[in-house]
Amino acid sequence: MSRYKCAYNCENSSDANIKCFKFPMYNPRKLKKWLANMKWEDWTPTRFSVLCINHFEEQYINRAGKSVTLRDDAVPTIFSENTPKEKTSISSKRKRNKPAAEATKKDSAQPSSPTTAKQSSRSKEQTPGLQEPPRDPRKPERWRVIVDEELMKIKSFPHFFHGDYCVPQNIHWAPDTFSAERRDCDNMIEVKEAWQWLGLDVRGPLAQTLNGHKYILTVTDLYSRWVEAVPMNTCLPPEVAKNVADIIAHFGYPVRILSRLPHDVVQKVNLELKEKLKVSIPLLIHHQQTGTADPTTLQMIDRMVSDLTEQHAADWDVYLPAQVFSLCFREHPDTKQRPFSALCCRGPQPVRSPRELSLTYSQIRGSVFVIR
């Protein structure tokens, strides 16, 4: 898996041969200059974030040694929205990139064949989340959180999802809509107890392991921050439901489980759960706040997945249980306590039957979750 790239419309986002540089996390003043030139809003780089060499003018690049490095005063200035200060550096870069750019234009100018048109139409008809996305073998794999495409239409798209990726300029970054200003609204659900409300996500596709696993199902308790993570071969509803049923059999029934999976996938998972658990109520609810109610834990999971796939590409599924164990037995930065203690030592006894709910599903989808 490649490292995350962070520049707007960067054509080299997936090119493994392009030299990239990490953000100067150790130098706050320098980091502030980098971010100011990028013109991003409400975004903070992580230790995985990098910028490629084409965002730096030649005067900032040191090619004298065995490896290409940046000078101490290097600041990125070349972005799609910016005009670089030195025209000479632009011309030199354009000369280097001219053959590739011309080849791209020729490819795009060629008329599409009937076979290609049929294939593209079939791919558009596929239901998101039910089919594995087609992959180009020439490009390195990049995993993602499988999420409802309708969320992309929100102007204030949650920063936790696209935090470290190259994003198009038509996405406007702004503070999340489920922030503090909405905590006093009438439709508010307070999470006051462990294993009441859970959040479910599916991450992938990852580098396929020797056991055939390519996805990770994560279920997080919003109150205790306890994490369950299970490797999966596919992201299809039957396999998701099977693992959710196993988790419920061990920890008991929550009030409900929130998820940002596509609506149709949520419905299919609920049908599978009804069959497996012999229940009549849908346990999974589509909710946009699945990722914003507890963003810290999700960021910790993302870092864990990134580290696993980089360090153990062929057998990350073998190391997954130990890494999840470490998350649950380490003090959480928000709660200042271990998730194990909050859930297993001070939490309630497991509930062995579905819980009644006074709210309708439409009321839940329109409510804001606040963790007390």
With 90 as the cut, is the pLDDT of residue 238 above it?
A: yes
pLDDT at 150: 63
- Asked if residues 241 and 283 have their Cβ atoms less than 8 Å apart, the reply is no
- Write out pLDDT tens, residues 142-156: 677 887 766 555 444
Q: Could you give the CA distance from residue 215 to residue 263 in angstroms, rounded to a whole number?
A: 19
- Asked if residues 167 and 80 have their Cβ atoms less than 8 Å apart, the reply is no
pLDDT at 216: 96
pLDDT at 93: 40
With 80 as the cut, is the pLDDT of residue 190 above it?
A: yes
With 70 as the cut, is the pLDDT of residue 60 above it?
A: yes
- Write out pLDDT tens, residues 31-52: 888 888 887 766 777 766 788 8
With 60 as the cut, is the pLDDT of residue 219 above it?
A: yes
CATH numeric code, 180-371: 3.30.420.10
- Asked if residues 245 and 276 have their Cβ atoms less than 8 Å apart, the reply is yes
Mean pLDDT value across residues 156-166: 36
With 50 as the cut, is the pLDDT of residue 367 above it?
A: yes
- Asked if residues 76 and 34 have their Cβ atoms less than 8 Å apart, the reply is yes
In terms of pLDDT, which residue wins out, 197 or 358?
A: 197
With 60 as the cut, is the pLDDT of residue 177 above it?
A: no
In terms of pLDDT, which residue wins out, 53 or 238?
A: 238
Pairing of strands 20-22, 49-52: antiparallel
- Asked if residues 151 and 171 have their Cβ atoms less than 8 Å apart, the reply is no
Which band of pLDDT confidence, cut at 50, 70 and 90, is reported for residue 221? very high
Which band of pLDDT confidence, cut at 50, 70 and 90, is reported for residue 187? confident
pLDDT at 35: 84
Q: Could you give the CA distance from residue 316 to residue 206 in angstroms, rounded to a whole number?
A: 9
Which band of pLDDT confidence, cut at 50, 70 and 90, is reported for residue 8? low
Mean pLDDT value across residues 85-89: 38
The structural domains of the chain, with segments of one domain joined by +, span 4-108, 180-371
CA atoms within 13 A on the CB side of 6: 25
